[in-house]
Amino acid sequence: MIRLGVLLVAVVGLGFGQFLAAAEPIRLTTDGRVKRDPVFSKPDGSELLFAVLDRPKQLRLMKLTLASGKVESLHPDETRSEFEPAVSRDGRFLAFVQNRGNLSLAMVIKDLMNGHQVDVPPGGGFSGMHSPAIAPDNLRVLYSYPEDGRQHLFSVGIDAKNPTRLVDSSGVNNWPSFSPDGQQVVFSSTRDGDYDLYVMKSDGTDVRRLTDSPKQDIRPRWSPDGRRIVFTSNRDGNYEIYSVAPDGSGLSRVTNHPEQDDFATWSPDGRRLVFVAERDGHQDLVSVEP
């Protein structure tokens, strides 16, 4: 169980309403810097990783210890931008995107148990990997990569070998997320015009459309119990957090605020959502019951 109650303070009076969830949200950071990509990095939910704009041109991976509220750099000596962290369910493997210069993006896969690290190098020109997602069995990593004028979903072994194209369609395919049993993947695609959510089998077959909105439905994340998918959408005129069942039913809005809410992720026990909330032009991590 996540010990969120001992972290900081509940946000009554801090300007973080209005939420459609039953309980008051909890503010996890207070520095107001530009943030993105939160993900829980421990199976017990005690630690979060996220990216912060630390310098005008550097995104840095940060670690937040929830019990103490302490925030520290994951790689304090790194001078390159690092973002979009993904952590395996057991906390052993970390994958993230690293800028190798000139918008050339590599994907790094690190075994946190022994420190061994492998890379999926970027291609030529302004290209590279995005949005890694580690399979529940720790055997492979999915990611988005541009090729032949389109952006596909690829699969690669946890050892960074044998890349395989899974999704090849028109437009952009991005933000894959595995179901808890590893049998399905939800992702966002522009194949039918704007970004909508799609679900497929984990081998890339049997693709079906999950949402149909005239606006953008992006950054889906499958819940730990497999019953809900949380995502960001501007379907009501502003970027907010929504959730939907894997069959497309039961669409619900989680947040409701004039400023933006984005980058939602589930706690390992599925009882909380953490996302980036913009308030008064500043960005911080917030936790709320879905």
Q: Is the predicted pLDDT of residue 244 greater than 70, yes or no?
A: yes
Q: Is the predicted pLDDT of residue 31 greater than 70, yes or no?
A: yes
Q: Is the predicted pLDDT of residue 281 greater than 60, yes or no?
A: yes
- Structural domain tally of the chain? 1
Residue 187 is encoded by which pair of tokens? 């992702």
Residue 196, in any domain of the structure: yes
Residue 67, in any domain of the structure: yes
Residue 41, in any domain of the structure: yes
pLDDT band at 57 (very low <50, low <70, confident <90, very high): confident
* CB environment 239-255: b (16+ within 10 A), e (fewer): bbbbbbebeeeeeeebb
Residue 131, in any domain of the structure: yes
Averaged pLDDT for residues 80-107: 94
Measured CA to CA, the distance from residue 262 to residue 241 in angstroms comes to 6
109 Cβ partners below 8 Å, 6+ apart? Answer: 93, 94, 95, 117, 118, 119, 120, 132, 141, 158, 159, 160
Q: Is the predicted pLDDT of residue 220 greater than 80, yes or no?
A: yes
Residue 162, in any domain of the structure: yes
Q: Which residue has the higher pLDDT, 179 or 7?
A: 179
164 Cβ partners below 8 Å, 6+ apart? Answer: 154, 155, 156
Domain that holds residue 175: 37-274
Alpha-carbon separation of residue 68 from 5, 38, 39, 49, 72 (angstroms): 11, 17, 17, 15, 12
Q: Is the predicted pLDDT of residue 162 greater than 60, yes or no?
A: yes
* Residue 223 DSSP class: -
Task: Name the least confident of 85-99, 113-127, 207-221, 222-236.
Answer: 113-127
pLDDT at 107: 97
Peptide bond between residue 260 and the one before it cis (omega within 30 degrees of 0): no
Averaged pLDDT for residues 127-146: 95
pLDDT at 44: 97
- pTM above threshold 0.85: yes
Write the CATH number for 189: 2.120.10.30
Residue 30, in any domain of the structure: no
C-alpha 17 chain-centroid distance: 23
Q: Is 289 exposed, middle or buried (0-12, 13-18, 19+ CB in 10 A)?
A: middle
Q: Is the predicted pLDDT of residue 55 greater than 90, yes or no?
A: no
Q: What is the mean pLDDT of the chain?
A: 91
